[in-house]
Structure 1
Amino acid sequence: MTLTGLARLNEADAREARALLLTCAAVPRWAEEIVQRRPYADVETALVAARAAAEPWSEEEVDAALARHPRIGERPQGADADAAHSRREQAAVDGTDPEVARRLREGNAAYEARFGHVFLVRAAGRSAAEILAALEERLTHDPATERRIAAEQLREIAVLRLEKELA
């Protein structure tokens, strides 16, 4: 029997539940904390626990989570859950528009040169224009401010992914 929704988190063995959570964010301590707090009465309680476990993530945890994210505007390859999440989240980014593609390539390169990691933004629900505006604005930040914002975006993405998994 395949578990779905909240039962997928509550009733799966610890290994399977951890694997599910790691597709939302590659942060083992976060995943373990959520697994240990099971069972959850409802999805919202699970999401509250996920938010709490992510406050804060260490620098190493942020780096690990960032390393699993593709660049905005590049289509993730593969059939794994990480790639599926990224494809769904970036659906509004039109890779067929050469101007958008160029600006994203250039912006991603400038961002990585400045901050040393991929530009990360919660892309779900945002248009390509909104994402480009966020990228250009965030290039003006100092490294400490940008690191804090990137960590916030990671947490938002992780919780949104978990919400999709539990729906």
Structure 2
Amino acid sequence: MPESTPDTSGSTPDPGLARLNALSREELRTELAQCLNVDRWVEAVASEAPYADRGTLLARADGHARGITAEEVATALDRHPRIGEKAEGRDTESAWSRGEQSAFAADTDDASARVQRIFTFAQGEYEGRFGQIYLVCASGRSSRELLADLVDRLDNDRETELSVVGEELRKISGLRLVKLLEAA
């Protein structure tokens, strides 16, 4: 059996990063679009591959996600279900969405059920006001926390709200990119 050369670089191999770096440009674009469905972002992140390390990938992806435009928000929202609605499908992105929203419906007591009903009403108010679904990085946040955030955001003007949604999309894309790296 041949001897392997020890890794003297001091870094631990990153199988998730190696998998992404080995993808064709089109395969990488498909994977990245699951994290953030914004063509400019997908193209920018894909064009810089291969990445030397995970930190560089995450930092560059985060940088490219800043300043999402109103048009990009609308495109990205098309792939997100409403909070409280389970994403249909067996694909990776649907599974991520279900996991991200799992805390919202985790509490099943009467008080939590009332909060969820109030949330559904407030979500309708939001959609009427802004003409889009309410989007938030929901990972690990309870229905009460999400309701408080939603009510606070109802006071925003359209420009401010688009900026907030862009920031939420940036957070979601970062979490999903880590999930993509961990899927190796």
What secondary structure is seen at the aligned counterpart in 2 of 1:121? coil
The gaps in structure 2 that reach 5 residues or longer are: 1-14
Partner residue, 1:135: 150
Distance 1:100 1:76 in 2: 21
Scaled by the length of structure 2, what TM-score is found?
0.84
For 2:87, the equivalent position in structure 1 comes to: 76
1:53-132 correspondence to structure 2 within 5 Å: 53-94=64-105, 96=108, 97-132=112-147
Deviation of 1:62 after TM superposition, in Å, equals 1.2
Q: Output the CA distance in 1 between the equivalents of 2:102 and 2:52.
A: 32
Native 8 Å contact 1:72 1:104 kept in 2: no
Q: Deviations over 1:32-82 (max 9, x none)?
A: 111110111221111111011122222211110012111111111111222
C-alpha contact 2:116 2:143 (8 A) present in aligned 1 = no
User: Residues of 2 paired with 1:69 and 1:17: CA distance?
Assistant: 20
Match of 1:34 among 39, 45, 53: 45
Check conservation: 1:94, 1:100, Cα contact below 8 A: no
Which of the two has higher C-alpha Rg? 2
Q: Unmatched 5+ residue regions in structure 1?
A: none
Residue 153 of structure 1 aligns to a residue whose secondary structure is helix
Aligned-partner SS, 2:50: coil
- Equivalent residue letter for 1:86: S
Q: CA deviation at 1:110?
A: 0.5
What value does the CA root-mean-square deviation take over the aligned residues? 1.4
Contact kept, 8 Å, 1:26 with 1:65, in 2: the verdict is yes
Runs (4 or more) in structure 1 with deviation over 2 Å come to 95-98
Q: Distance in 2 between matches of 1:59 and 1:8?
A: 32
- Give the aligned residue type for 2:137: R
Contact 1:8–1:17 (CA<8 Å) still a contact in 2?
A: no
State whether residues 37 and 79 of structure 2, in contact with CA within 8 Å, keep that contact through their aligned partners in structure 1. yes
Q: List per-residue Cα deviations over 1:133-164 (Å, max 9, x = no partner).
A: 10111111111111110110011101110011
Which residue, 163, 172, 176 being the options, matches 1:157?
172
